[in-house]
């Protein structure tokens, strides 16, 4: 990530004016309102109570601080974290992008790379300063994009139900004086893309759709089970100043291990309640539990 982030236009204002440099930030922050039909239903059922601050009204409209973040890689640091030398990383990036970035090879003095991958959005409920306050409780959901479910309501997976559950729990934490955070990563189809995901869905439809074959089908089509770079995921948590997570609203061992491995303790892991799991997504959730995605012990 860019350590200057959203402050870059102010930090380098003098250079921009004196040298006529067009300098753009890789992070932008705004305040907004969020309105989702499930949240209105949560208010009707009494799971969410409007307080006029976080949950604004009977429609379930939420006040949120939104951080949009584009990825920035410091190549020596990324290479060190993956246990390889910088030259190997540069060559690999050059080859796997079809030679689109020749400066990776020709300009060793340029240590920064803007990777052609999706960014992320942070949705913070409550006072953003509470995120870095060790005395305040923090509920967090790390969510990887799933267009079919998140946007269009597909019930073949639990992505939207878990996202809505994460938002609702984050709001409750903020209303109780803590901080609630949902971080949305653009990693469609485990970062393999939507075309690959649809091919996997078709393979599941043609054969017996069993939990035991769930990850094998992805591997047969894409060559790997997952491409999400979870080792880099916790960078945003450090930038936000998060020092511990009281409630991690996720069943993913990969996300848990990446966060804990970077020195941020997780005190409790919260699974998706059974009543929120769509019937057609049972194969997906059972496969993840069987593969050790979540340990109930």
Write out the catalytic residue numbers. Answer: 226, 228
Identify whether the C-beta of residue 294 lies closer than 8 Å to the C-beta of residue 271: yes
Q: How far is CA 210 from CA 4, 153, 216, 272, 287, in A?
A: 47, 22, 10, 21, 8
Identify whether the C-beta of residue 285 lies closer than 8 Å to the C-beta of residue 158: yes
Q: Which of 191, 200, 187 is nearest to 226 (CA)?
A: 191
Identify whether the C-beta of residue 21 lies closer than 8 Å to the C-beta of residue 44: no
Identify whether the C-beta of residue 88 lies closer than 8 Å to the C-beta of residue 134: no
- Burial readout 115-141 (b: 16 or more C-beta within 10 A, e: otherwise): beeebbbbbbbbbbebbeeeebbbbbb
CA 81 centroid distance within chain? 20
Using the structure block, give the residue that is written with the tokens 């409750």. Answer: 172
| Order of strands across the sheet that contains 179-185 | 27-34, 62-69, 120-125, 179-185, 138-144, 247-248
Q: Which token pair is 142?
A: 């790390």
User: Who's near 45: CB < 8 A, 6+ residues apart?
Assistant: none
Q: Are strands 247-248 and 138-144 parallel, antiparallel or unpaired?
A: parallel
């Amino acid at each position: 990530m860019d350590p200057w982030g959203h402050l870059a236009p102010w930090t380098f204002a003098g250079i921009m004016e004196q040298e006529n440099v067009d300098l753009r930030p890789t992070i932008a922050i705004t305040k907004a309102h969020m309105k989702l039909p499930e949240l209105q239903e949560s208010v009707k059922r009494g799971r969410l109570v409007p307080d006029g601050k976080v949950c604004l009204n009977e429609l379930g409209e939420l006040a949120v601080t939104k951080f949009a973040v584009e990825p920035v890689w410091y190549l020596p640091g990324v290479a060190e974290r993956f246990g390889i030398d910088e030259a190997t990383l540069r060559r690999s990036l050059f080859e796997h992008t079809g030679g689109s970035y020749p400066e990776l090879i020709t300009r060793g003095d340029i240590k920064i790379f803007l990777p052609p991958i999706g960014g992320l959005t942070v949705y913070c409920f409550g006072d953003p300063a509470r995120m870095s306050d060790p005395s305040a409780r923090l509920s967090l959901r790390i969510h990887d994009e799933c267009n079919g479910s998140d946007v269009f309501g597909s019930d073949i997976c639990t992505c939207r139900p878990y996202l809505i559950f994460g938002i609702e729990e984050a709001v409750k934490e903020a209303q109780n004086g803590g901080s609630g955070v949902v971080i949305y990563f653009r990693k469609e189809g485990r970062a393999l893309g939507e075309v690959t995901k649809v091919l996997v869905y078709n393979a599941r439809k043609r054969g017996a759709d069993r939990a035991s074959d769930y990850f094998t089908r992805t591997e047969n089509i894409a060559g790997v089970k997952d491409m999400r770079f979870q080792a880099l995921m916790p960078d945003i948590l450090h930038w936000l100043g998060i020092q511990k997570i009281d409630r991690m609203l996720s069943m993913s061992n990969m996300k848990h291990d990446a966060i804990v491995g970077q020195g941020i303790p997780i005190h409790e892991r919260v699974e998706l309640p059974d009543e929120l799991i769509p019937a057609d997504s049972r194969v997906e959730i059972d496969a993840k539990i069987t593969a050790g995605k979540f340990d109930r012990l």
